[in-house]
Amino acid sequence: MNSQYFLTEDQISIQELVRDFAQKELEPVVKECDEQSKFPMDVYKKACELGINAAFLPEEYGGLGVDTLTWCLIREELGTVDAGFTIGLGTNGLAYTPVSLAGTEEQKKLCASMIIDGGFGSYCLTEPDGGSDAAHARTTAVKKPGGWVINGRKCFITNGPLSSFYIVFAATDKSLGAKGMTAFIVERNREGVSIGKHEDKMGIRASETSDVVFDEVFVPDDHMLGKEGEGFKLAMATLNRTRPGGSATAVGIMQHCINLCVKYAKERVVFGKPIAKQQAIRFMIADMEIKTQAARQMVHHAARLVDAGMADPVVGACTKCFCGDSAFEIAGNAVQVFGGYGYSREYPVEKLLRDAKIYQIFEGTNQIQRVTISANLLK
């Protein structure tokens, strides 16, 4: 990869370590996990031994203390092998980011220790009544002596069935809309927390996704994250910092498509010569490379802004849109390069098309990203 020039030796060595891990440990189970829709827990345990699951945690809490750019490098390497596994592991970072932004020392230690112990975290914003309108939560948190009682249902929650803790965004004053939302840390073992419907998904099937239900769940006062009424702001500040990581996984899918197409185009002989000799095929592969290079640079730029304390919602939204749209387009063209075999489950590219689709949907759909971008330009 020719963008290595600005990476540090540490970044390059962690990139190589993760590439090696992904190829040796993850690659052999990808097909099975996709077919059976199961998270490869044994592989995750090995990732925990290397500290990859908690790389973003500060060293004082047992993590590797990597910056956002390095976290993106890790996610691209894992994403080049399997986006579903990467999303399961990466969601720990999504769940921990609001804690790192607004948490007390005790809250940071609490959540970090659950991840370090091999557990998972979930970020619970979306509800059944319309994820795009995230500012109007139906889940409520009502003040009681010594704490809060939470009631509601969150849906499409990544790691829902696996998590040890949930970051729950709930309405503490419905009349205030976005300004009446507050974030809470809710451990899985609290009374009243249960797992609802499991999603049987089109792609990223190695990641587990479910409803999480909160029925009269009591959390003490010290589980409120940040200030009352600042939950929505925290939810958005989180996504502004985590979008580069999700986009990096999409870049991994794009790179995987290129790797497979280059190999297949040289091997597949039609009209007496490899299809790699056909300009139509060569140009499709060239366009994949153009978009992948551009997407990777956007991810690195967005990540470096986060690391510089300058997380930018427009840069994050542009990056998320470009990477998601490009991943879906490139995966579609990868199926095309493979012809009929691309449409067959026997070959790996149809899975990449199914996996790529999610990048136009979660962490705010690409329509919602365009709403953000245009609102900032036209205000």
Q: Which residues bind to ligand FAD, rule: CB under 6 A?
A: 91, 122-126, 130-132, 156-158, 201, 204, 209, 358, 361-365, 367-368, 371
Amino acid at 185: I
Pairing type for strands 121-124 and 273-274 reads: unpaired
91 or 172: CB nearest ligand FAD: 91
* Phi (first) and psi of residue 155, to 5 degrees: -125, 165
The CA-to-CA distance between both ends of the chain, in Å, stands at 39
125 or 335: CB nearest ligand FAD: 125
Active-site annotation holder among 77, 208, 230, 363: 363
199 or 312: CB nearest ligand FAD: 199
CB of 167 to ligand FAD, least distance (A): 9
What's the token pair of residue 340? 């009929």
11 or 139: CB nearest ligand FAD: 139
CB of 131 to ligand FAD, least distance (A): 2
CB of 2 to ligand FAD, least distance (A): 33
* CB-CB neighbours of 145 under 10 Å: 5
Judged by DSSP in three states, 309 sits in coil
57 or 358: CB nearest ligand FAD: 358
Pairing type for strands 181-187 and 269-270 reads: unpaired
Catalytic-residue membership of 16: no
Q: How far apart are CA 156 and CA 130, in angstroms?
A: 11
Alpha helices in the chain (DSSP H): 9-21, 30-36, 41-50, 68-79, 83-102, 105-116, 231-267, 279-307, 313-337, 349-356, 366-378
| CA distance readout (Å), 136 to 11, 165, 231 | 40, 23, 11
CB of 124 to ligand FAD, least distance (A): 6
Cα angle for residues 341, 258, 301 (degrees, 5° grid): 145
* Distance, CA of 180 to chain centre: 27
As a residue count, the chain comes to: 379
Q: How far apart are CA 119 and CA 47, in angstroms?
A: 12
- Which residue lies nearest ligand FAD, judged by its C-beta? 131
Burial 275-293 (b: 16+ CB within 10 A, else e): bbeeeebeebbeebeebbe
CB of 373 to ligand FAD, least distance (A): 12
7 or 236: CB nearest ligand FAD: 236
CB of 172 to ligand FAD, least distance (A): 18
Tell me which residues are annotated as active site.
Answer: 363
